[in-house]
Amino acid sequence: MHVPVVIVGSGPSGLLLGQLLHLAGIETVILEQRSKAYVLGRIRAGVLEQGMVDMLERAGVGARLRAEGLVHEGFDILFEGRRHRVDLHGLSGGTDVTVYGQTELTLDLMNARDAAGAKTVYEAEDVSIHDFDGERARVRYRKDGLEAWLECDFIAGCDGFHGVCRQSVSPSRITTHEREYPFGWLGVLSETRPVSEELIYVSHPRGFALCSMRSHTLSRYYLQCGLEERVEEWSDERFWEELRRRLDDAANRDLVTGPSIEKSIAPLRSFVAEPMRFGRLFLAGDAAHIVPPTGAKGLNLAASDVHYLSGALIDYYRTNNERGLDAYSQRALRRVWQAERFSWWMTNLLHLFPENGSFGREMQRAEFAYLTASRAAGMALAENYVGLPY
């Protein structure tokens, strides 16, 4: 069977790419190792840049986002008990972010793909990619015990950090850059009213914390924790007690606690693989780069990759012009490195790094003092947080 584009991975980047190509009349098949229920069950962040919101509108999946998404014009930084509000709207010239859970976004894209009758193969086992340096690429997989092959013009590797696509490229062809942080985020999801209408980023001598939300009735909280710690060691009671220690009096007065409905520990990593194109194989999203979640850039970077890649593929099939395909890696990586820098900066500003000693903490204090006193510093933060132009 021949199909123009095979997309490996049915996360948001793969689904969004498939939807944009479908609207342009380009057939795709998506292969997903996991079940549909598993993909929908993954708990992920959901702070969307305006550029991503606009792209979802163009993809025809913006209705529920408009109705249920929470538009945020700013957020708070709570640094050693002192609150500072970052006015994203005012400092960026009128741009906001929208809080909309990745689970809901994935569901919207899945429903759009189902309505279009586009093919997604869930629980596709032993996926392997072949001949992507030749005239035609091929993808092999097994479904229900039967082997199948797809011949295609291009492969989009949207299968995440541990996916098969990047791993299928010879290591000699890839340059990787990586920073593993010496801590993780312990996250709790609870059916409780959020402590604030906007996010609160917390830097405390006991460690970082974040008060976030998915909706008006669903809250998401995070605590910096050691990599050696286990979820089982953190009862709900212990989590809420530790969170209270890191919040100020105002937040503690408004904090509503309750049973957790999901709890997990995620390590923090910065990672970039370059280039992002290998013949007929293109990498997008977490397959090519990872950012620490502090700057809310992971999902948004995947969307900007899709913006560049979908445009290049659409241009190729309309005009037989390969300039966009040739420029994809360079254009995507330029924005990737800007987001990596910002995520690294926010992570270093807000987290506890005991190995940096008193000098490191004083540098954080000086950075926060500069941020609160300088409009230029605030504008730089806001410009990056709401998203740099594509």
Q: Which of 174, 183, 158 is nearest to 293 (CA)?
A: 183
- Which of 33-47, 173-187, 322-336 bottoms out in mean pLDDT, i.e. has the lowest? 33-47
Q: Which residues contact 373 (CB under 8 A, 6 or more apart)?
A: none
Output the pLDDT for position 342: 98
Token pair 């990619």 is found at 129
Burial 87-105 (b: 16+ CB within 10 A, else e): ebbebbeebbbbbbbbbbb
Q: Which residues contact 197 (CB under 8 A, 6 or more apart)?
A: 72
% of the chain residues with pLDDT over 70: 100
| Interatomic CA distance for residues 184 and 186, integer angstroms | 7
| Interatomic CA distance for residues 302 and 162, integer angstroms | 15
- Which of 44-53, 69-78, 258-267, 370-379 bottoms out in mean pLDDT, i.e. has the lowest? 44-53
- Sheet containing strand 47-48, edge to edge, reads 47-48, 97-99, 70-72
Token pair 């008006």 is found at 216
DSSP character at residue 110: H
Output the pLDDT for position 90: 98
Confidence of residue 169 (pLDDT cuts 50, 70, 90): very high
| Interatomic CA distance for residues 267 and 82, integer angstroms | 27
3 state DSSP class of 259: coil
Domains and CATH numbers, the chain: 2-72+96-178+269-349 (3.50.50.60), 182-267+352-386 (3.30.9.10)
User: What Rg, from alpha-carbon coordinates, does the chain have?
Assistant: 21
* Chain centre distance of CA 291: 8
Q: Which residues contact 110 (CB under 8 A, 6 or more apart)?
A: 10, 15, 36, 39, 40, 120
Reported pTM: 0.96
**Residues with active-site annotation:** 72, 201, 293, 297, 385
Output the pLDDT for position 41: 86
Structure tokens that stand for 191 in this block: 């059916």
Q: Which residues contact 105 (CB under 8 A, 6 or more apart)?
A: 12, 46, 48, 56, 61, 65, 299
Amino acid at 13: S
| Interatomic CA distance for residues 222 and 211, integer angstroms | 7
User: By the 8 A CB rule, do 340 and 270 touch?
Assistant: yes
Confidence of residue 322 (pLDDT cuts 50, 70, 90): very high
| Interatomic CA distance for residues 8 and 259, integer angstroms | 36
Residue range 341-369, pLDDT digits in tens: 999 999 999 999 999 999 999 999 999 99
Amino acid at 346: M
Confidence of residue 45 (pLDDT cuts 50, 70, 90): confident
Residue range 118-150, pLDDT digits in tens: 999 999 999 999 999 999 999 999 999 999 999
Token pair 């504008």 is found at 379
DSSP percent split of the chain into helix, strand, coil, nearest 5: 45, 30, 30
